[in-house]
Structure 1
Amino acid sequence: MTLGRQCRVSLVVQDRSASSIYIPQQHLDTPDGSIAPALHQLLKKTALTFTHTGTNAIAVIARSEEVDEGGNAKLLPAEEITVTGRNLTGSHLRHLKLDSYAPIDVLAQPELEITGAQTVAELLKFLPAVSGNSTSTSVTNGGNGTATVTLRGLPASNTLVLINGRRIVNNGFGGEAADLNTIPLSAVDRIEVLKDGASAVYGSDAIAGVVNIILRREFDGLSLNSYYGQAERGDQQTQSYSVTWGAGDEERHLMFSLAHYRQGEIFSRDRDLSASADNRSRGGTDLRSSASPQGYIALSDGVVSKRGDGYTPWTTEDLYNFREQTSALVPSEKQSLYIAGSHRLSDTVATYAELMAVRTRAESTMAATPVFTRFDNGDLTIAADQVYNPFGEEITDVRKRVLELGPRVQYNSTDTWRLNSGLKGDAGDWQWELTAAAHYTEARERLTNLIDPLRLSAGLKGSDICNVESNCVPINLLGTPGSIDGEQLDFIRGENRVNGASRMASLTYIADGPLGRNHAGDILAAAGVEVRREAIDFNSTDINGLSLIGGIASGSAQGMRLIGEAFGEISLPLKADTLWLDGAIRYSDYSDFGNTANPKLALRWRPIPSLLVRASYATGFKAPTLVDMNQTGYQSQEFLFDPCTNSNATSLPGCSGRADQARIQYLTEFGGNPDLQPETSDNRSLGIVWTPGDYTGFHTSLDLFEIRQNDVIDTSPQYLINENATNGLFGDRVIRDARGDITRIVATRLNIGAREVRGIDASLRYQHQSRKLGLLRWSMNGSHMASYLNQLAPGSPIEDLSGTFADSASGGAGSLPEWKANTGVYWQRGRWEAGYTVHYVSDLQESFTVNDQYVTRKIDSWSTHDLQVAYGMPSGYRFAVGIDNLLDEAPPFAASAFNDNFDARTYDLTGRYWYTTFSFTM
């Protein structure tokens, strides 16, 4: 193992082959940095040899007694063993081979280095199975400093994130999903992505799949790493530094890792694609805001704006380009500490502990606060006798961008602590583990330069209400930009703060081993119990449940639940080395909604040694989050479309007339529902894996998958608006005034939706080793979404969203490409290594309204090329240079994307990006 660490190779040994062989300590030569000469020297007098099993992975195996035509000993195929000796994600069983019943993407440490990624979220973003509405620091308006992963286009709450195979606490902003920003990549050994439902094994949330992040535990030595990168256009300056140290022996081991990461910003105005919200020249619409610095002032005889010394008629050219102020990529930073220790108490029992502390900070910039007096909270009518009202009439509709306040700045911070400790041991052929965990995360958000609606209301009234005696300052919403002076700003300025905390404590016991033996082989089994307590405490500084103007009212939620679970697995061989039947079941009892049981069955068949056919069926569930069940007082200005703004509004049953066409945001109230039930699912898969022995290093797989999901928890205000306008429904939830304009939407969470996702996963890998070329590997990984059937509510139409884009800001599912793939060539010879990767996203369709016409347009396909070259010096130093997006391909334009004219959750705005890494290991 020491040799593997020194040569930066994952070296695994087949226990039964090496257990009886003694090799004395000796000096081994690696003149060109390759491990091959050293292994030949080490194993030349033994019955062992070695073979490459993956990128920078070598297995030491027994020599075959058979010989080929030339009289040379044939090599037995390597038994695939996970590097750390742990069970593969998706099962608690220890299979002799990694014959998984479902496709799994494994990103090991050498592969992590060659990508140049510096965060877990960045690494997962371009995986083929990832699509939909994840969050990240690429999202400004709608982001909160967290990062999530969304498999199969399902919400992030449908993908379970584990650390070392154990559940972790969800983020502090509502606890919907785990925050990937709280997991430092420097502490990661590998990442396993199970692309199949796994509620029978892990419980709630594992509907779309599981992301299992395996941390480094057994590192020996000292490793120092530094990284610097910058976009070719001079922004997004990013740095990271880490130090990892470990030492120990067979009895005890200790390691720690310290890391610092900082990402620079990109402003919307600094990229051609995102600089303007007016997209008419690109075939889109004009998304500029009617709340302009000059003002939109609706009088009894028309609409005017203030220019210079007078008022002129308002035109669409007065719309405001808010992208002049917004950030496109959020500057962020992260500091982390990770400590792992173990101590062997006896020959059969060991204890261990892991502590992780992570601090994250992010700062996003949004355009200055807009005021919509007719549609914002409070009575914002400007009195006829208000001191700044020259018109002598009451004014109800003024739309004003208050540039004097400065841009809105959102500060997000998160502090996370995770402590896992336990005992593990052997009892004959069985292994057992008892784990106790305590996780806590606290999140804070501060949004500045907002407007207090109650103070603004008072400041817009006459002198009988707003005067010196009442400590009121009159506000001038009808003047030119700059007319709101410092005293007025101090009177109306507001700031919203949100604080949230999520806690989780758990106790888990698992045992696995051979249950017995039948005519076909060992019957493997695993069983366990888990007790878990989850709690949230979430609140914001709202004004009696009303949102500040320019912000949202996050409301509050307090809740706690107790969960008890029991689970079991079995692998039954039906025919020796040919046919296996696997089963699992998990029973879960929740204190707040009841209980559920979820089984899984899988069949694995090897008709010939090189071919594996696999099939599985499972049920799954996602428990409603504590915020889903307990939140109150959540208000937001949502980006929605009202069919009543079309020219045919008078023919629609729910429209009393044509509504205001200039509006794109609507005040929406969300709320929890204590009567929610779990979302449920059925998962089916069928696949083949081919590893022909005639082509050493060749591996290919093809898997069909289907996910059917019911009782989906949804709060779709767009669905409510559509049904209200076109069918006259939900009149108690879509509130309109006498002119037919929406004043408020009430969207309480309900179990009303259904989904069905079908597709194909395909992978291919080939590697070749020779003295002349070194180690050369080519791989391809792709995912095809054949259909994504979505029904918002019973009786509503079923839509196929596959190959479409609908922005999450309007309640859409995001980008759901039919094809997403990557392919790459990776090379290593001696001390040199290089990688070239291509990422691909197929074209999409989007629909939106232009001049009262509902149109569909194509969003172009997109591909990027990444390159890295590295050199490792004999003294332990490693230097690498990389280029991401080598051809400087801009993301494809999306007319219906609210943030920066493209989908930041799927594509990257940076352009060509250069980076260097420098490390030292001893």
Structure 2
Amino acid sequence: MKIRHWATLSLATVMGLSHGALAGCPKSGVHLPGGSLEQVLIALGRECRISVLVQASSATSFKLPEQTLETAAGDFEPALQALLRDSPFTYHRHGPAAVAVVPRDTPPEETGGDDLPAQTEEITVTGSSLTGSHLRHLQLDSYAPIDVLAQPELEITGAQTVAQLLKFLPAVSGNSTSTSVSNGGNGTATVTLRGLPASNTLVLINGRRIVSNGFGGEAADLNTIPLSAVERVEILKDGASAVYGSDAIAGVVNIILRRNFDGLSVNSYFGEAKRGDQQTGSHSMTWGKTGDRGHLMLSLSRYRQGVLMSRDRELSESADNRSRGGTDLRSAASPAGYIALGSGEVVTNTAAGGYRTWSQEDRYDYRGYTSAVVPSRRDSAYLAGDLDLDDQVELFVEAMGIRTRAQTTMAPTPVFTRFDNGDLAIAADSPHNPFGEEITDVRKRILELGPRTQENRTETWRFNSGLKGNWDSWQWELTAATHYTRASEILNGLIDPTRLSMGLKGPGQCNADSGCVPVNLLGPSGSIDDAQLDFIRAESEVDGASRMVSLTYVADGIVGSSGTGEILAAAGVELRREAIDFKSTDAMGLSFIGSNVSGAAEGERIIGEVFAEISLPLAADKLWLDGAIRYSDYSDFGNTANPKLALRWRPWPSLMVRASYATGFKAPTLIDMNQTGYQSQEFLFDPCTRNDANTLPGCRGQADGARIQYLTEFGGNAELEPETSDNRSLGLVWTPAQLKGFSATLDMFDIRQNDVIDTSPQYLIDQNAREALFADRVLRDERGDIIKIVARRLNIGAREVRGLDLAMRYEYLSEDIGQLRWSLNASHIQRYLDQPAPGSPTEDLAGTFVDPASGGAGSLPKWKANTGVYWSKGRWEGGYTIHHVGALEESFTIDEQRVTRRIDSWSSHDLQLAYSLPVGLRLAAGIDNLLDQAPPFAATAFNDNYDGRTYDLSGRYWYTTLAYSF
């Protein structure tokens, strides 16, 4: 009997993954529902925190009555013996936290014997397909590295969202978004493996595609997946386009939701930062019931995260970083105003109401208003059920609805009359112009409008239903799905550029008859009264929707056998329709001042795909050849076929060598192909502002050095082609028989991408200034100052990412100290080569930070790792985890010199302790960032002087959890 024929009982297994021991049952006894042996063992494994494996066919057909088993000493084995006493089954132990239930006439060696991995915490769903394949393998037999976070690990981390859970994983780097991203965020959360964009990482739920976010479908929004409904998370760190199609270039994050849960569980969480802010609470309830022919489960959750303001942390309280060795990032648009006169003099208002010469010290520090961590709310409901239609066929249903809300606070709107949209020159005869000349360049912060607030809301619905069953040695599944998400964003405290333009003109154009109110931009702060504010005030709104419907059929099983073993195969077909529709309000085609206009996009596509996999044993229990291929046909750009080949070789029982090669692709998103009118004030650097500007071919003299943001207009391109990739990997899996409970994996990876879709405005500016190129995209006025940058998406980039992953785990069991587990997970980026366009220089970004606000790839540390020790004994359990991010480098210009500085490495220590009472009550407390380490300072970080996508600004953070199950 091969182990791949066995079905690990999912909930029982994951409860044993992290904390299983053979003495973990409630001392008051275990009440088990009636039903199939599989269902009963699920309940027993869950109650006793033990990993149980059983042959799928026999477990389903054998029935047991409802019963209560005594476990006076908390021992698992007497309860299992009593359960199997009058059955045709027995069991064998495989390590301290796993048993295999087998027919009584099956010799122990046929269950795998000592060949079963002793690291039971790493067995996920043996006998079901792991992420990255539709075939059924043990995790350590996979041809690609997979990280698994199971339910007990989710509990002990204290994480309350999927984004929090993934943030510190070693393979995650780059520009993941979350509510830690304020200015430039939209309330969504994404994940970026290997530092590649979020659209290069495929997010699945239960192995199936999900709808992407409502603002154009760039990537899946993790905030629409409630962590309380999650059973485990599998992270495949390898390309998988041959298995899943588009987007799986960097890897796959597969969220497995709870299904086999019986009883009622209620959980409450409260956390707060040491400084008394960012108060967060969540509450969830899960109920499940198993009947004679099926199962039904309902999970409800509510999450509330409090705000953390930039001004409340020393690191982020000011944008003036000169004392730290950085630059002054305060804004030239100050409440007193920056006013450029025709004589070349620049003046500002004084406290007494007169004017004096403006200086760099008059810049405005906007950090007093901005939120660093955005307050957010999420409410969700998840329903899952299945019904046995007969012994071979099952009907299943999954439904999920979630509503999210986030509110970002930003500084009051700045006005740059020379560079914002519209004709904003102040007429010489304006009643508020004391200079008697036309004023074209005023930079003023309109405090009278109050801070800008951005409210983001999403509503997401997912519904999957279908049939699955067995036929001989084959399993099959037919799924129909419909997913829908709608998002809205309302940003207030803005200025209508058309009305402001009218209000800055003389009496001939702005008068009472025309309904115009003269606007005073040249007075001191407070000189804009309510009438003026009501005339120019504006509010932007963006509404978007993404839809997906799909029909998928997949089957896998044994196609034959030879003297070397069984041949496994899988095949399937998928039909999918994707559509987006979003638009934003503006003023007569001009973006509101103070906002980023998302523009509009409308598009849809039909995708048809067929796929197949096979696993061929070339030498019995030693050598396997695995292959997969997927053919995809898109209605809007054509078709593509992507293969994958993998070789697994076991020269010794304790060592496996695995290698793979695959091609991949990322289809241009519907927003890539269809977006129009997207405008943003991008945080960029113009080489023409340097003192040596006269020596640069593209400069018309020295441009204005007081600016740090430039109006940029992005556009879609219907002629885009898919991004393509080649993925290579080579790895070792070591499970030494002499060291029971230990495993180690070492995997090298190499990802090469071509035809990367890019819109880098910084690249356009650099090439325009230094080579006099892209004059039609970098628009400058007669003085040489940039008026607008037009960045249209093109297939122009190329990347190569090379590195390695290392994982080690060890489990030790002692009657005196209980169960101890140690783990180490690390990822190393050896190089990250990026070429923005053909002919441009290739940069190695490994170990660097370039803020995404400047078009960069974010933080790409050469080393990122975590390690931890986890302990359980009786009713006690605890954990100590260290997260580490390696040092980085950043480059910027200061005093006309290009400098490179080091961003220090950073480590965070987390501590958790929990105790379970006999009545089903579990109490837990934890401290994140125990040593209260602030993130390292980054001089080029646009938000809060650090990279919120990589580090945590909260400081020491404590939390408590109370859970009750019965």
TM range (shorter): over 0.9
Partner of 1:278: 320
Partner of 1:229: 271
**Judging changes above 3 Å, is the alpha-carbon distance between structure 1 residues 664 and 59 closer, same or farther for their aligned structure 2 residues?**
farther
Letter in 2 for 1:722: D
Which one of 792, 800, 810 corresponds to residue 766 of structure 1? 810
Q: What's the secondary structure of 2:187's corresponding residue?
A: coil
**Judging changes above 3 Å, is the alpha-carbon distance between structure 1 residues 491 and 9 closer, same or farther for their aligned structure 2 residues?**
farther
Give the TM-score normalised by the residue count of structure 1.
Answer: 0.97
**Judging changes above 3 Å, is the alpha-carbon distance between structure 1 residues 358 and 264 closer, same or farther for their aligned structure 2 residues?**
same
Residue-by-residue CA offset, 1:377-423 (whole Å, 9 max, x unaligned) = 00000011101111111100000000000011000000000000001
Matches within 5 A, 1:602-617: 602-617=646-661
Partner of 2:715: 671
Letter in 2 for 1:2: A
Structure 1 gap ranges (5+): 68-72
Letter in 2 for 1:237: Q
Structure 2 residue 359 is matched with structure 1 residue 320: no
Question: Shift of the alpha carbon at 1:229?
Answer: 0.2
Matches of 1:74 and 1:569, distance apart in 2? 28
Which one of 208, 227, 240 corresponds to residue 282 of structure 2? 240
Question: Shift of the alpha carbon at 1:94?
Answer: 1.7
Which one of 48, 52, 59 corresponds to residue 11 of structure 1? 52
Aligned pair count reads 915
Q: Is the 8 A contact 1:32 1:831 kept in 2?
A: no
Matches of 1:781 and 1:848, distance apart in 2? 33
Question: Shift of the alpha carbon at 1:694?
Answer: 1.8
Partner of 1:77: 116
Which one of 457, 472, 496 corresponds to residue 428 of structure 1? 472
Structure 2 residue 857 is matched with structure 1 residue 818: no
Q: What's the secondary structure of 1:123's corresponding residue?
A: helix
Matches of 2:138 and 2:168, distance apart in 1? 31
Partner of 1:181: 223
Partner of 1:494: 538
Q: Is the 8 A contact 1:546 1:635 kept in 2?
A: no
Q: Is the 8 A contact 2:96 2:813 kept in 1?
A: no
Structure 2 residue 483 is matched with structure 1 residue 439: yes
Q: What's the secondary structure of 2:319's corresponding residue?
A: coil
Matches of 2:820 and 2:201, distance apart in 1? 34
Which one of 417, 431, 448 corresponds to residue 387 of structure 1? 431
**Judging changes above 3 Å, is the alpha-carbon distance between structure 1 residues 545 and 58 closer, same or farther for their aligned structure 2 residues?**
farther
Letter in 1 for 2:116: P
Matches of 2:77 and 2:952, distance apart in 1? 39
**Judging changes above 3 Å, is the alpha-carbon distance between structure 1 residues 766 and 421 closer, same or farther for their aligned structure 2 residues?**
same
Residue-by-residue CA offset, 1:472-492 (whole Å, 9 max, x unaligned) = 000011111111111110100
Which one of 563, 585, 589 corresponds to residue 519 of structure 1? 563
Partner of 1:578: 622
Residue-by-residue CA offset, 1:77-128 (whole Å, 9 max, x unaligned) = 3597534853100000123675100100000111110100000000000000
Matches within 5 A, 1:354-373: 354-373=398-417
Residue-by-residue CA offset, 1:41-87 (whole Å, 9 max, x unaligned) = 66799742333477xx66557999799xxxxx986635975348531
Residue-by-residue CA offset, 1:596-621 (whole Å, 9 max, x unaligned) = 00000000000011111000000000
Partner of 1:217: 259
Q: Is the 8 A contact 1:546 1:633 kept in 2?
A: no
Question: Shift of the alpha carbon at 1:545?
Answer: 3.1
**Judging changes above 3 Å, is the alpha-carbon distance between structure 1 residues 357 and 730 closer, same or farther for their aligned structure 2 residues?**
same
Residue-by-residue CA offset, 1:558-581 (whole Å, 9 max, x unaligned) = 001000000000000000110000
Partner of 2:38: none
Which one of 340, 346, 362 corresponds to residue 303 of structure 1? 346
Q: What's the secondary structure of 2:512's corresponding residue?
A: coil
Letter in 2 for 1:77: L
Matches of 2:723 and 2:346, distance apart in 1? 49
Partner of 1:70: none
Q: Is the 8 A contact 2:91 2:99 kept in 1?
A: no
Residue-by-residue CA offset, 1:679-705 (whole Å, 9 max, x unaligned) = 000000000000112222101000000
Letter in 2 for 1:228: F
Structure 2 residue 221 is matched with structure 1 residue 169: no
Q: What's the secondary structure of 1:695's corresponding residue?
A: coil
Question: Shift of the alpha carbon at 1:772?
Answer: 1.1
Structure 2 residue 177 is matched with structure 1 residue 135: yes
Which one of 137, 141, 144 corresponds to residue 95 of structure 1? 137
Matches of 1:383 and 1:492, distance apart in 2? 17
Letter in 2 for 1:471: G
Which one of 427, 445, 453 corresponds to residue 401 of structure 1? 445
Matches of 1:366 and 1:201, distance apart in 2? 43
Q: Which moved more, 1:248-257 or 1:323-332?
A: 248-257
Structure 2 residue 161 is matched with structure 1 residue 119: yes
Which one of 548, 570, 587 corresponds to residue 504 of structure 1? 548
Matches of 2:628 and 2:115, distance apart in 1? 32
Q: Is the 8 A contact 1:669 1:746 kept in 2?
A: yes
Q: Is the 8 A contact 1:53 1:78 kept in 2?
A: no
**Judging changes above 3 Å, is the alpha-carbon distance between structure 1 residues 359 and 404 closer, same or farther for their aligned structure 2 residues?**
same
Matches within 5 A, 1:514-663: 514-663=558-707
Question: Shift of the alpha carbon at 1:770?
Answer: 1.7
Q: What's the secondary structure of 2:243's corresponding residue?
A: helix
Matches of 1:147 and 1:828, distance apart in 2? 33
**Judging changes above 3 Å, is the alpha-carbon distance between structure 1 residues 26 and 723 closer, same or farther for their aligned structure 2 residues?**
same
**Judging changes above 3 Å, is the alpha-carbon distance between structure 1 residues 502 and 396 closer, same or farther for their aligned structure 2 residues?**
same
Q: Is the 8 A contact 1:34 1:830 kept in 2?
A: no
Matches of 2:757 and 2:848, distance apart in 1? 22
Matches of 2:63 and 2:96, distance apart in 1? 24
Partner of 1:51: 94
Q: Is the 8 A contact 2:127 2:136 kept in 1?
A: no
Matches of 2:259 and 2:126, distance apart in 1? 9
Matches of 2:571 and 2:58, distance apart in 1? 29
Structure 2 residue 759 is matched with structure 1 residue 715: yes
Partner of 2:916: 872
Q: Is the 8 A contact 1:34 1:831 kept in 2?
A: no
Letter in 1 for 2:225: I
Give the TM-score normalised by the residue count of structure 2.
Answer: 0.92
**Judging changes above 3 Å, is the alpha-carbon distance between structure 1 residues 346 and 98 closer, same or farther for their aligned structure 2 residues?**
farther
Letter in 1 for 2:267: N
Question: Shift of the alpha carbon at 1:554?
Answer: 1.1
Q: Which moved more, 1:658-667 or 1:541-550?
A: 541-550
Q: Is the 8 A contact 1:473 1:491 kept in 2?
A: yes
**Judging changes above 3 Å, is the alpha-carbon distance between structure 1 residues 914 and 530 closer, same or farther for their aligned structure 2 residues?**
same
Structure 2 residue 242 is matched with structure 1 residue 203: no
Cα RMSD of the aligned pairs, angstroms, is 2.0
Partner of 2:724: 680
Q: What's the secondary structure of 1:469's corresponding residue?
A: helix
Q: Is the 8 A contact 1:512 1:526 kept in 2?
A: yes
Structure 2 gap ranges (5+): 1-41
Letter in 1 for 2:249: I
Question: Shift of the alpha carbon at 1:427?
Answer: 1.2
Letter in 2 for 1:833: E
Letter in 1 for 2:861: P
Q: What's the secondary structure of 2:404's corresponding residue?
A: strand
Partner of 2:35: none
Q: Is the 8 A contact 1:542 1:554 kept in 2?
A: no
Q: What's the secondary structure of 1:908's corresponding residue?
A: coil
Matches of 2:368 and 2:855, distance apart in 1? 25
Residue-by-residue CA offset, 1:736-781 (whole Å, 9 max, x unaligned) = 0011000010000000000000000000000011211111100000
Partner of 1:807: 851
Matches of 2:798 and 2:587, distance apart in 1? 36
Structure 2 residue 173 is matched with structure 1 residue 146: no
Letter in 2 for 1:805: F
**Judging changes above 3 Å, is the alpha-carbon distance between structure 1 residues 182 and 275 closer, same or farther for their aligned structure 2 residues?**
same
Percentage of pairs with the same residue: 70
Which one of 193, 201, 206 corresponds to residue 235 of structure 2? 193
